[in-house]
Amino acid sequence: MLGRIARWIDDRAHFSQLWKSQMVDYKVPKNLTFPYAFGVMAIVAFAIQIISGIFLTMYYQPNVHLAFDSANYTIMKEVPFMWLVRQVHAAGANFFLAIVYLHIFTGIYYNAYKKPRELTWIVGWLIYFVLLMTALSGYLLPWGQLSYWGMVVTTEIPTSIDSAPLIGHLKIGETIAVL
């Protein structure tokens, strides 16, 4: 039964031909080196972050008064093996950033920003800045002293730029607080 359904879908979508041409018969270039794998490694690290983040979300309390206890007591001590998921998530974030930096440096080394890949390079930088903002907000989520003061220091950095008045006024309020 499943075989007939799979053949019916393949007759219309041609997945088997795509698989054969891209995975089976694909000839690997002779100049393929290890740095070419950094993009795939970043995708795998991102997938691990998404999966572990979903599991952590099940027990995290998004409240200023409950966030610290949910991150440091409920997740780390009450739920079996959730401490491991949190540590994988924390280490995975560092690994993900390191791999993304290696991927960027590889692109610079191989001149991947030149014609005809300019748009890909610009989109990559936009994704990188979204990644930095996500990492920064994830750092704040446990709402501990380290998270709080790290966020205070980070939001104070743009105010030191006097020559660009717009950048110096990105901070919405005077303190880090709940919206």
DSSP characters over 90-123: HHHHHHHHHHHHHHHHHHHHTTTTSTT-HHHHHH
What is the pLDDT averaged over residues 19-35?
84
d(CA 133, CA 125): 13
| Residue 19 vs residues 13, 16, 22, 40, 125: alpha-carbon distances, Å | 11, 5, 5, 18, 31
Q: Is residue 13 part of a domain?
A: no
Q: To the nearest whole number, what is the mean pLDDT of the chain?
A: 89
**CATH number, domain at 87?**
1.20.810.10
What is the pLDDT averaged over residues 166-175?
64
Question: Which of 153, 159, 118, 115 lies closest to 136, judged by CA?
Answer: 153
Q: Is residue 10 part of a domain?
A: no
At 105, the pLDDT band (50, 70, 90 cuts) reads very high
d(CA 167, CA 157): 10
102 and 56 within one domain: yes
- Give me the number of domains the chain comprises: 2
pTM: 0.79
Residue 150 is encoded by which pair of tokens? 């790290």
Domain that holds residue 88: 35-143
